[in-house]
Chains A and B, each alone.
Chain A
Amino acid sequence: MNRVEGRVKVTGLATYAAEYPVEGVAYAYPVQSLIAKGRVARVDAAAALAMPGVLAVLSVADPPELAEDADAELALFQRPEVAYRGQIVAAAVAGTYDEARAAADAVRVEYETADHDVSLRADHPGLYRPEVVNPGFPSDTEQGDLEGGLAGAATVVDVTYTTPVLHNNPMEPHAALAVWDAEGILLVYDSTQGATTDRDMIAKTLGLPPGRVRVVARHVGGGFGSKGTTRPQAVLAALAARVTDRPVKVALTRQQMFDVTGYRTPTIQRLRLGADGEGRLTALEHVAYEQSSTLKEFAEQTAVPARVMYATPALRTAHRLVRLDVATPSWMRAPGECPGMYALESAMDELACAAGIDPVELRLRNEPETEPDSGLPFSSRNLAGCLREGARRFGWERRDPEPGVRRDGEWLIGTGVAASTYPARRSPCQAVARVRDGGFLVQVAAADIGTGARTALTRIAAETLGVAPGRVHVELGDSDLPAAPVAGGSMGTASWGSAVVRACEELKKDGREGRADTTEEVGQDSELARHAFGAQFAEVRVSAVTGEVRVSRLLGVFAAGRIVDARLARSQFVGGMTMGLGMALMEETLTDEEFGGFLRRDLAQYHIPACADVPDVEAVWLEEEDERLNPMGSKGIGEIGIVGTAAAIGNAVHHATGHRVRELPITPAKMVMTRF
C-alpha cells in the first residue's frame, strides 16, 4: 500500500503550518537574548516602530497578558529575567517577513548582566537528585549488594561515557500561523506532534478554556520530539495576532530552532559492571549526570534502560541533574534510552573484551527471566532472537575477536554489536468512524509527522472493517477531531490504532457510526513489562591515515510486535538507525562557554549523515505475536531504531582500531589523536 498522502506531498499540494493561505497575514520575528544570565533593563523599540510596515513590538516593557501558571519556556515577555542566551525577549510584527526581520534587528535591548554557568560537570556543586525522570520514572533504584557484587567479580569494568548536546533538525522548521476570529476563538496552524495536547497547552498558556482554541496540523515535516511539546512560535503567533488584530505567521529560522525548540541534554555516564568467570553479571551500576535550565526541570531517563536489560543480583541506577544558564532540554528521538543504551551497550562491549567472551554471547548469558528492576513478566521479549538472527545474517560467526588487525589498504575494518530496547506503551485516545459516501470516514486527532500515521491508521481501519483501504478516509491533525495523545514515545500507532479499532468495531455493530474512548481499556491493561527489543550490527572502516570513520554496513533486527505496514516500518527503522549513525560519528552542538548559547547552529556545521554516509543500512524484524499489548498486537517503531546504533558503531570502531573513544561523536580528530 502506498502512502495515502504521497501524491499531495510530492506535488507540493500538502499544506504545512506556515503555508495556509490567509488574508491579511502579518509576520512576527523574535528578538533573542544576547546574554546568558541577567535581566532586561530597557527595551527601545522606537527605531523599529518607525520602520516601514511595522505593526508592533512585543516585549517585557509591556507584558502581554498570559496565564499566571504558564509554562516557563512559553511565558513570553512576562518577566525581565533572562535564563539563557537565545531566549526570546522581544518580537517585531510587520506586514512582511523581511520587514519584521529588519525591525527585530533594530530593537535595542539593554541588559543587566550576571555571571553565567553553562558547563555540565560530574562534580558540579549544584547537582541534585530529581524526584522523577521523564516521563515519571523514579530517579534512583537500588537492589542487591552492589559493592559486594563488584568486589567478588572476576571481571570489572568501570568506565565513563559522555554524549554532547544534540539537536533535532526536522525538515520543516517550527512554524505557526495564528488567527483570532470575531468571537475570540483562536485558530493556530502549528507544526506540532499533537493537535490535542498542543491545543490544551496553548489554551493553558493564554488562560483560555480549551474550547476557545483550535490547532490544525494536517501535515508536519518531522519533529523527532522537538514538536512534541508546545513551542514558543505558537504562543508568539497568538500574542502577536491578538496585539495587531491580524493573522500572524511565525516561522523560526534554522538557527533559532537550535535555541528555542529543545535539545538532547549532554550526559556524563558512569558505568560499573562486574561479571563472574562465565560472564554473568554480579553487579551493574549506571549513574547519569545531566543538565536542565533554571526555568524548569527536565530530567532525562538515561539510566532507565539498565533497569530493563540484564539479569544481575545487584543493580543500581541513578540520575543527577544540575540547573544551568541554558535552554531547557526536551525530547529527542528516544530520550533517555538512546544515550543511556549508548553507554550501557558500550560498557557491555568493554566487559565482553575484558572477560574474553563474544559480545553476542555475553548478552545471551545475561538474559533475565523477568524485568530485572520491577520483577514483572515481559509481555514479550525476543532480544535473544534478535541477537541470534542478526548474528546469522551479519556473518558474525566468521568474526575474529582480535581488535585492530583487519586491514584493506589504509582502512582498518571492524564489526560491533549492541542491543536496543524501547518501551511499548499506549495512552487513552478517542476516535469516530462513520459511513460516508459509500465509504468510511475515520476521525482522530492524531498527528502524521512524516511517519506514515495516516497510512497506518487507514490500514488498521480497513482491516477492522474488512474493506479495501481505498474505501477508508482517515482525517487527522485537527484538535476539533476526537482527542488523541501526542505522536511521541513510539506510542502513536498503538494509542490511536486502539481507538480506531474500537470505533470501527462499534461502527460494524451500529451500521452507521462508531465512537470509541480507550481510557477505560488502557486503564485495565495488565501490569507487564512492555518493551520492544532489537540488535544492531555495524561494520566500520577507519582510515589509519586520516582517522575518518565510514560505516560500511548497518543491520538492525527488531522484535516490535506485529508490524502494521512493512514499508512504513522499514522507513522508521532505517531512519532511526541513520540518525544513530549521525549520533555516533558527527552530531554535536557546541556550547559557547564565554557567551552562553550554542555555536554552529546550521546544517552546514551541525553534521547529520549525507547519502554518501549510509551506503548499506538494512532493517529486518522477527515475527512477534504479542496480543496483550493492544488490538493490533503492535509495538512502537519510531524510536527503537536509533537506540543501540551508536554503541554498535563505537564498538565496531574499537574492534577496527583497538581504541575506545568514550566521548561522542567519534570524529577524525579524536581518532587521529589516539594515534592508534
Chain B
Amino acid sequence: MRPFDYARASSPADAVRRYRPGTMYLGGGTNLVDLMRLGVARPEHLLDVSRLPLDAVEEVRGRLRVGAAVRNTDLAAHPLVRARYPMLARAVLTGASGQIRNMATVAGNLLQRTRCAYFQDVSRPCNKRRPGSGCPAIEGDHSNLAVLGHSGACVATHPSDMAVALAALEAEVHVTGPGGDRIVPMPGLHRLPGDTPERDTVLEPGDLVTAVELPPPPPGASLYRKVRERASFAFALVSVAAVLDVAADGTVAGCRIALGGLAHAPWRAERAERELIGRPATGGTFLDAAEAELEQARPLPRNAYKVPMARDLIVNTLEELAP
C-alpha cells in the first residue's frame, strides 16, 4: 500500500470542500481498502465519510430515505425495508458475507468496482484501470463477465446485488458535489463502458452520494433471485429483481425487471417489460419477454451460458410471482 493521508469529514459539505485531485471518499472500506492493497486504487488523500450523520433510514412523505452511510446489515434488517421492500432486503442479504455486510455502506455498495480478474491485477492490462492498455478478458477469462451492453474496450460487470434491486425499485440517488446537489435516478447512476470504461458512473469528481430514496413500492409482488457457484459469499453469475402486478383478468398490469451479473451496470429490462404489459401472466408470455430482452445479448465464447441462464431465471422468477 502506498503512503496516503487520512482525514475524517465533519459534514457532507466539508467533504466536498476538502475534495481535491487524488482524494477518495472512504465508506466501509470493504472494497476500497482491498483495491488499495492490490495497488488498483492509489488515493493520495483518503477522506473518511463513513461517520457522517448519513446513517438513518427514515420515512419522508411516503418515501423511504436511506442514508449513504447506512450499513448493509442495518438496511436489510430495517423493519420498514423488510415490510415494504422485501426484495431489497433479500438482495442485500444475498451479497457478500455477514462480516462484510456489517461494514459495507449503501453508497459504497453502489460504487464498488468490478471484480474482473484483470482489473484486480495491476500486472495485467485493463482499460478500466489503465485506459488504452487493452482488455485481455475479451480473449481470455470472461466466463463471469458481461453479455449485455459491453464494448470492445471492456466486458466487466457491476458486482452489486443491492443496486439491481434499487434499479427495479426506481430508487433515486442523492448526490452533493462541487456543482451543488442533484438527484440521479437508478439505474442511470452506472454507465455502460463504451470507449471510456474507466468511468463506472455518471458522478463527477468530488461528488458525494448522501442518500438513496425509494419511492413507494410499486404494486404487485416482488422477488430477487441470484445464481451463484456457491450458496453464499459469491458474486452473481446472473440475478433478477422483478416486480409483477397482475390484474384481475390475469393480464400483466405492471412489471419491473432488473438484471444483475450481465452488464457494466444494473440492467433494466425495458424490452421485456414492454412485452409483458397487457398480456396474460403465463409462462409463454414470460418466455417471449425474456427472449425479447436477451435478443440484444452478445455473449462471448465462455459466457454464452449466461443467456439461457438469464432467460430461464427471468421466466421462473415471473412464474413464482404470478398468482
Contact = CB atoms under 8 A, between A and B. Distances in A.
Given A586-B230, A668-B227, A605 B1 contact: no
B121 A599 contact: yes
Contacts of B139: 594
B155 to A, nearest CB: 14
Contact of B1 (A32, A101, A590): A101
B262 to A, nearest CB: 13
Interface string A565-587: 00000000000000000000110
Nearest to A675: B308
Contact of A607 (B115, B140, B230): B230
B39 interface: yes
Interface of B is mostly: loop
Interface in A521-548: 545-548
A261 B235 CA distance: 27
Interface string B227-251: 1111111110110000000000000
Contact of B232 (A590, A610, A669, A672): A610
Contacts of B238: 546
A593 interface: yes
B124 interface: yes
A604 B141 CA distance: 16
A546 B123 contact: no
B234 A595 contact: no
A396 B275 CA distance: 48
Interface string A664-676: 0101111011010
B6 interface: no
A605 B238 CA distance: 16
Of A410, A546, A586, A613, which is in contact with the most chain B CB atoms at under 10 Å from its CB? Answer: A546
Interface stretch (B57-65, B76-84, B169-177, B309-317): B309-317
Contact of B117 (A605, A612, A673): A605
Contacts of A34: 123
Nearest to B237: A668
Nearest to B100: A604
A34 B123 CA distance: 7
B312 A545 contact: yes
Nearest to B316: A545
A592 B305 contact: no
Contacts of A607: 229-230, 234
A469 B3 CA distance: 52
A450 interface: no
B41 to A, nearest CB: 14
Given A102-B3, A592-B140, A672-B309, A410 B231 contact: no
Contact of A595 (B38, B136, B312): B136
A550 interface: yes
B2 to A, nearest CB: 6
Nearest to B309: A672
B143 interface: yes
A411 B321 CA distance: 18
Interface in B123-177: 123-124, 136, 139-141, 143
Interface string B101-113: 0000000000000
B277 interface: no
A452 B1 CA distance: 36
A248 B233 CA distance: 35
A8 interface: no
Nearest to B305: A669
Contacts of B228: 548, 668
Contacts of A599: 117-118, 121, 140-141
A602 B235 CA distance: 13
A105 interface: yes
Interface in A602-618: 602, 604-605, 607, 609-613
A594 B140 contact: yes
A407 interface: no
A609 to B, nearest CB: 6
B124 A592 contact: yes
Nearest to A52: B3
Interface string B35-55: 000110000000000000000
A403 to B, nearest CB: 21
A547 B230 contact: no
A319 B305 CA distance: 34
A65 interface: no
Contact of A585 (B136, B230, B304): B230
Contacts of B234: 607, 610
Contacts of A98: 1, 3
Contacts of B235: 604
A269 to B, nearest CB: 23
B17 to A, nearest CB: 29
A675 B311 CA distance: 13
Nearest to B303: A669
Nearest to A670: B305
Contacts of B123: 32, 34
A108 interface: no
A590 B141 contact: yes
A665 B305 CA distance: 15
Contacts of A601: 117, 121
A550 B140 contact: no
Of A548, A590, A673, which is in contact with the most chain B CB atoms at under 10 Å from its CB? Answer: A548
A611 B97 CA distance: 11
Contacts of B308: 672-673, 675
Nearest to A592: B140
A251 to B, nearest CB: 13
A600 interface: yes
A194 to B, nearest CB: 31
A367 to B, nearest CB: 37
Nearest to A605: B117
Given A545-B312, A599-B141, A605-B117, A667 B229 contact: yes
A604 B115 contact: yes
A601 B140 CA distance: 15
Nearest to A582: B230
Contacts of B3: 98, 102
A612 B231 contact: yes
A669 B121 contact: no
Nearest to B226: A546
Contact of A547 (B117, B304, B309): B309
B313 A611 contact: no
Given A547-B309, A594-B136, A613-B231, A669 B237 contact: yes
A612 B232 contact: yes
Contacts of A255: 38, 121
A592 B230 contact: no
A103 to B, nearest CB: 11
A676 B139 CA distance: 28
Q: Which 3 A-B residue pairs are closest in the complex by CB-CB distance?
A: A612-B231, A669-B305, A546-B227
Interface of A: 32, 34, 98, 101-102, 105, 255, 410, 545-548, 550, 585-586, 590, 592-595, 599-602, 604-605, 607, 609-613, 665, 667-670, 672-673, 675
30 contacts: A32-B123, A102-B2, A105-B39, A255-B121, A410-B316, A546-B309, A548-B227, A585-B230, A592-B140, A599-B117, A599-B121, A599-B140, A601-B117, A601-B121, A604-B235, A607-B229, A607-B230, A609-B230, A610-B231, A610-B232, A610-B233, A610-B234, A612-B232, A668-B227, A668-B228, A668-B229, A668-B309, A669-B305, A669-B306, A672-B312
Given A609-B230, A611-B232, 10 more contacts: A102-B2, A590-B117, A592-B124, A595-B124, A601-B121, A607-B229, A610-B97, A610-B233, A668-B237, A673-B304
Interface of B: 1-3, 38-39, 97, 115, 117-118, 120-121, 123-124, 136, 139-141, 143, 227-235, 237-238, 303-306, 308-309, 312-313, 316
